[in-house]
Structure 1
Amino acid sequence: MFARKSEIRNPVRMGLLLEFETAFPGEKPLTVGEYLKGGNRETILNVAASFLGFKNQQSKYEDNREFISMCFRAENNELANKVYDRIKELEKKGNRVGIINTYSSLTLFEYFFKAPEEQQTQSEEEFEVNFFKAYLVINSEFTKKQHIAFDSTKDLSKELAFPMMMFCMNYPTSDKTYYDIREIWITQLWKATILFQYLSSDEKTKPLYNAFLEHFAVNDWEEYLKSFLPLTISMMSNHKEGHVDFEVSEGENKDKACAFLDKLIIEAEDELNEFDFLTLRSKPFYKVKDGHYRIIFNLFVVEKIFKGMYFLLREVNKGLPEKAQVKALKSFFGDFFSERILFYDVINTILPKLKIKFSGQDMVAKKIIGGPDYYLRKGSDIMIMESKDFLIPADAKMSFDFERYQDEFEKKLYFEEVNGKEKHVGVMQLIAFIKRLLLKDFGLDNNYNYREVNIFPILIVHDHQYNVPGFNKLIDYWFQAELQELETQGFYVKKVQPLVIISIDSLIYHQIGLAKDIQLNEVLKRYIQHTKREKNLKFRSEEEVKSYTLSKQIAFSTFINEFFQAKGLQEVPPVLEKVAPILFKEKD
């Protein structure tokens, strides 16, 4: 039987990035600085921001003819046609060729934002050619880094080699490439609302909350969001591709509005972090002139709603007297708020009527030691969840190196050697509890036949950067090794399902469909079936093998988006209904 084409679309596509050497064969490249010396700095920043303003899905500039036509004027038609012809020759071999790359656009912006203004010596005709060449030089640098992915995975087992190569190639930039800006906006706003409600109500966090309000010169968090959200909504309603600007209108509130925005702009004296564009994430606007601001990258702006809140609060927290500071702020965000506030809220939202469900706090209250962060049973389906809010170091993320990734993710999701002892997390925590379930040693729920229940081990993650093909494969590979060890000990593990990694954003975004139409355990069954490799398949080519293998590495977040869309279950969470009455309530 020949492999069937999957009905679930995978956003990650195999293809090639146009490099300098392909477009200009035999020509020795100069450095980016040499190509753009004597160019107009303002124009360079404008173009970089425009490239970053292209749609990341279904952009008209995915058409290389369209993009090249935009880049070159009539005087450079001959060169433009040669480049386009070389692209078409390459695509005849079955490779899709792309030109625009988010990494290259962000790198170009960073490079020239720090560069001093200099006298313009290049003509417009020269500059557009040299700009194009400079961009392709950065593309070439990027693809050279991707070769680390090939080298670091080539000696892996056949089962892991291709999935891990694809993971390593895509992970450094997937969060900046494969995303739905509408979904991120909704989930960021949902999480920010819950965070602010908690900060403003808990006595321990009120000093930090009040200092935050003072920093932005607002009276409450509702006023902060009312000031910030219009900056994001304009991007959602903007159908044009290119940069997005803000002009602060004249009026009595102009100075206050400018002061607010000035706290979010990158400035010449800011030190640019060399890894993963952390500075641009923190300050995703720049000032064109007084009262005139430009978005650098729309994703970074939207992520400021919640994801960037930690960094803002961290700086404010540092300025507080020691007694008023929130101790271990990172732990507060990652452990306390993410797990006990946000995670619990989401589970109760998607499974409001489930009778058999126990949070970690419930278990602690009933003196159950070693339980998961959440236990849920629907009939013969048991779901056990561990919530992990973590990031790996930015330099590790941008390494493209499997060994580096394996080391970092092992510590966060498997185990870590600490003072000669193994500290068990994630996978090992789930395995330990599965062992208890198979022994019927969970005092809060043991009215089941362990040979008949399906056990779904789940890791909940809190950042969309893990929605990349291959990541689930790696973590489940570790899980299966530990599960096999249980089997050798005589445990019945045939009904234990593969480990699934779920982004909490997917649960927030699809909360209505999960609560009303198809419950999570049923979606998990569909996902596991979809990612299972069929046996005895025949393939017509090596490319077909790779395409089929890649289709089985799809992240759960991508699967549920496509699955719900196919079922017509696209009702988004009532975030505006939840937030609007708060934001626009009448003040006493």
Structure 2
Amino acid sequence: MKVNHVTILEYKYLFDSHIKNRHAEILILVNDLDFDIAFPIIARLNHVVRERSLKNYLDEITFWFGSKSPLVDIYAQLIAQGYDEKEHSSLRILNIWSNLTLLQSFLEVYKNSTGSKNQNININNTHDRLLKAYLLINEEYVANFNSQKVIASIPNGVGLIMKNGLIMATMLLPYHDLNHIDAADAMIAQFIKAVYFLQFAESNLPKALTDFLASYGVSTWQDYMKAIFPIVGHALQNNKEGLGYLTINSENPHAETSRKFLSTISIESQNGDFSQHDFILPRSKPLMQINMDKYLVIDNLLIYNKMYNSLFFEFKKVLIDNPDILGKVDFKGYLNGHFSESFLASKVLDAVFENSKYLKFSGEEIRKVHAPTFKAEPDYYARNGTDLFMFELKDTLINGTTKQSFNVELIKSELKSKLWFKSINKKGEIKEEPKAIRQLQNNIRRAAVNKLPFDSDLEYKFLKVYPVLLYIDQSLSTPGINEILQQWFAEELGHDKELGKVQDRFDIMPLTMIDLDTLIIFQDDFKNGKLKLEELIPRFWGYKQGLIAIGLNNINQAIFDSNISFGAFLRLNRKTRNTPKLFTSFGRLLFDKNNQKSD
């Protein structure tokens, strides 16, 4: 990761005009455009930004208008005049935040459209109006991504590592989960999680699963996956210059199920609800329907995410229609406790430690034997001699408004309440409900005083303890967040008297945040011993500290570089990976006629 000194081009410097109500002007510019031209433009913008294929602003202008358009020279002159004092190599137009904001603005107009086209708008005019709208959005981008304003909002006395963590998290959180994820990795991980969820539902929510499948005209979850996966995978393989189309074979026996799935994630003019928070509409509608069996892919990554994420919303609807299934139990809370933190975490971590000599227990295994006398157990526990791992998994989401706020205190407060502790008023008394950081600390303390009933052979042992916070929401991979949480974790350890007593035999590593998708993608390397967490985690923190040491002449740059997430670090060091065997085995499970039942 490197600090890139880029100047984002803005409307006001090209046209010497200050628009007071930018949002209203953007909507005017995109109103009545030819949707058949505009949506493919947006699809291609997302593609080139993710691929980073355009090297300078002249490439971007040429890409936008086409090399033969006279508007290329016109805009090149406007930029040269408006930015005559700037180094031209640093000038850029395109970025993922403005891409999605343009799409969001376009959808805001499109949902109220009658579908008629303005015949007076030609292709060049459409491109010109969209670029003007984009440059206005860039003004908002520059105003929001103001590092000096963010730095000024951080209170005095905050340590340098925490300060840089807060700056990076605040600046990058709005779009990091949409811009730094490998599309192939996302497809594989979302597919595997979707299959795990459907297997879980088959055993634990059979009535809800039956109703869900009935809405798609199928009787088994295998048939549902057969209908959706090939067309989703097609989006990755068939994408020419950013224009990808999903086509349904009408003769396929699963064609109608495929249509129903794609219709739920496709843009339609009658979309009613609209929210500007966190690109909700683009996230939920990453396709545009061309005809009954053809769809334009607006964004590959968002399609892959829907393979798993859409299941929550569809099952939630089924449960609302059938309140007797869970009664008054909150569905999100039920899923967190029974699926994410138990079933899913166990599946993934069992694979990571499968061929090791680790003594290991899932949270569910601990509860079955030791509840209710032993409570607040770790979500997963593993020990091999002196190496001890404590895992907490949090299937928590950062609120969309918070993500897009660019507000240090708001982001810090939400991270604190969801991952450190939450203050709750109980009968007039303020109680602190422990979250992941304190839960890890509490269970490490239990190990220090030999109070873990499932592993009671810890007294007098010299242990290297690895506290790990697993998470699902890729927003938490944003650089800076691990540093913030580690500072809080270190603060807790510093005040813990019991752990202070055993510091001569307990070597507690820094808190490491790991996204579950990374473990899913690299599970085969963990199984065959090519990767070991007990080796990777010290290297991860050594890499961070090494970058700081190397960058003593420019400490801010060094700390910026060192804020890499664990998943990014692993991919940096292991540049190639094989497709997980679990992915191919699930494929055989789906498409082998002899395997029609889940494991």
TM-score, with length taken from structure 1: 0.88
Secondary structure of 1:218's counterpart equals: coil
- Tell me if 1:407 matches 2:407: no
Distance 1:555 1:489, change over 3 A: closer
Give the corresponding residue for 2:384: 378
CA distance in 1, matches of 2:216, 2:49: 31
Contact 1:208 1:316 in 2 (8 A): yes
Answer yes or no: is 1:70 the counterpart of 2:63. yes
State the distance in 2 between where 1:201 and 1:60 align.
46
Alignment-derived partner of residue 213 in structure 1: 213
Is the 1:90–1:97 Cα contact (8 Å) retained in structure 2? no
Change (3 A) 1:252 1:427: closer
Residues 194, 36 of structure 1: alpha-carbon distance in 2 compared, 3 angstrom cutoff: closer
**Letter of the aligned partner of 2:62 in structure 1?**
S
C-alpha contact 2:340 2:395 (8 A) present in aligned 1: yes
Q: Which residue of 2 aligns with 1:349?
A: 351
Q: Does structure 2 retain, via aligned residues, the 8 Å contact 1:64–1:84?
A: no
Q: Once the 2 structures are TM-superposed, how far is the Cα of residue 187 of structure 1 from its aligned partner? A: 0.9
Match for residue 45 of structure 1 among 15, 39, 46: 39
**1:213-257: CA deviation from partner (whole Å, max 9, x where unpaired):** 111112211111111112221222135232322344555866665
Aligned to 2:310: 308
1:288: how far off? Answer: 2.5
Structure 1 match to 2:541: 528
Deviation at 1:484? 0.9
Q: Paired residue for 1:580, among 587, 592, 599?
A: 587
Q: Which residue of 1 aligns with 2:104?
A: 107
List alignment gaps of at least 5 residues for structure 2: none
State the partner residue of 2:54: 61
Match of 1:499 in 2: 511
Amino acid at match of 2:127: E
Match of 2:487 among 477, 485, 490: 477
- Taking the aligned partners of 1:197 and 1:16, their CA distance within structure 2 comes to 47
Contact 2:8 2:142 in 1 (8 A): no
Q: Matched residues in 1 for 2:363 and 2:583: separation?
A: 30
Aligned to 1:281: 283
Give the whole-Å Cα distance in 1 for the aligned partners of 2:123 and 2:286.
28
Distance 1:40 1:498, change over 3 A: same
Instruction: Note the alpha carbon deviations across 1:345-368, whole angstroms, 9 max, x for none.
Output: 111111113342222233333424
| Aligned-residue offset at 1:514 | 1.4
Match of 1:374, as an amino acid?
Y
Partner Cα separation in structure 2 for residue 96 and residue 382 of structure 1 = 50
Residue 438 of structure 1 corresponds to 448
Deviations 1:422-453 (A, max 9, x none): 11121111111222222233343354576732
Query: Which whole-Å deviations, capped at 9, do the CAs of 1:546-570 have from their partners, x for residues lacking one?
Result: 33111211101111112222xx6x2
- 2:474 is matched with 464
- Distance in 2 (CA, whole Å) between partners of 1:387 and 1:373 is 6
CA distance change for structure 1 residues 310 and 152 in 2, over 3 Å: closer, same or farther? Answer: farther
* Counterpart in the other structure of 1:556: 566
CA pair 365-260 structure 1, distance change in 2 beyond 3 A = closer
Q: Could you tell me how far 1:37 is from its partner in structure 2?
A: 4.7
How big is the shift at 1:301? Answer: 0.8
Is it true that 1:519 corresponds to 2:519 in the alignment? Answer: no
The answer to whether the Cα contact below 8 Å between 1:285 and 1:294 also exists between their aligned partners in 2 is yes
Distance across 2 between alignment mates of 1:165 and 1:535:
17
Aligned to 1:293: 295
Q: 379-388 vs 22-31, which deviates more? A: 22-31
* Residues 156-305 of structure 1: pairs in structure 2 closer than 5 A: 156-202=158-204, 205-249=205-249, 251=251, 257-270=258-271, 271-305=273-307
1:584 Cα deviation after fit: 0.9
SS of aligned partner of 2:308? coil
Match of 1:26 among 7, 10, 16: 16
8 Å CA contact retained: 2:390, 2:466: yes
What SS does structure 1 have at the residue aligned with 2:433?
A: strand
Greater alpha carbon shift after TM alignment, 350-359 vs 142-151: 142-151
Tell me if the contact between 1:212 and 1:313 (Cα under 8 Å) persists in the aligned partners: yes
Cα pair 2:278 2:404 within 8 Å, conserved: yes
Q: What secondary structure does 2:390 align onto?
A: strand
- How far is 1:189 from its partner? 1.1
Cα gap change, 1:402 to 1:530, in 2 (>3 Å) = same
Tell me, yes or no, if the aligned pair for 2:56 and 2:91 is still in contact at 8 Å. no
What's 1:4 paired with? none
What letter corresponds to residue 222 of structure 1 in structure 2? Answer: Q
Please give the alpha-carbon distance, in whole angstroms, between the structure 2 residues aligned to 1:81 and 1:193.
50
Compared CA separation, residues 485 and 107, structure 1 to 2 (3 A)? same
1:3 is matched with none
User: Which residue does the alignment assign to 2:361?
Assistant: 358
Report Cα offsets for 1:8-31 as digits up to 9, x if no partner.
Answer: xx3x75343623247516233461
The code of the aligned residue for 2:267 comes to: I
How far apart, CA to CA, are the structure 1 residues paired with 2:326 and 2:36? Answer: 44
Q: Report the CA distance between 1:192 and its aligned residue.
A: 1.1
Contact 1:318 1:325 in 2 (8 A): no
User: Counterpart of 2:307 in 1: which secondary structure?
Assistant: coil
Separation (CA, whole Å) in 2 of partners of 1:90 and 1:327: 62
Q: Which whole-Å CA distance do the structure 1 matches of 2:252 and 2:331 have between them?
A: 37
Matched position secondary structure for 1:387? strand
Worse-superposed segment, 432-441 or 244-253? 244-253
Contact residue 246 and residue 293 of structure 1 kept, 8 A: yes
Contact 2:544–2:562, Cα closer than 8 Å, also in 1? yes
Instruction: Please identify, of 505-514 and 446-455, the stretch whose mean Cα deviation from structure 2 is larger.
Output: 446-455
Structure 2 equivalent of residue 97 of structure 1 = 92
Q: Per the alignment, do residues 376 and 164 of structure 1 end up closer, same or farther by CA in structure 2, a change over 3 Å counting?
A: same
Q: 2:226 and 2:299 mapped to 1: Cα distance?
A: 21
- Partner Cα distance (2:95, 2:434) in 1: 42
Number of residue pairs aligned between Structure 1 and Structure 2: 569
The 8 Å contact of residues 189 and 575 in structure 1, kept in 2 or not, is answered as no
Change (3 A) 1:38 1:112: closer
SS of residue matched to 1:391: coil
SS in 1 for 2:470: strand
The structure-2 alpha-carbon separation of the partners of 1:24 and 1:487, relative to structure 1 and needing over 3 Å to count, comes to farther
In structure 2, the CA distance between the partners of 1:486 and 1:325, relative to structure 1 (3 Å rule), is closer
Look up the equivalent residue of 2:521 and give its one-letter code.
Y
Greater CA drift, 494-503 or 270-279: 270-279
What SS class does the counterpart of residue 243 from structure 2 fall into?
Answer: coil
- Contact preservation (8 Å) 1:451, 1:492: no
Summarize the Cα distance change of 1:452–1:87 in structure 2 as closer, same or farther, 3 Å threshold.
Answer: farther
* 1:369 counterpart = 2:375: yes
Equivalent residues of 1:68, 1:84 under 8 A apart: no
* Aligned-partner SS, 1:60: coil
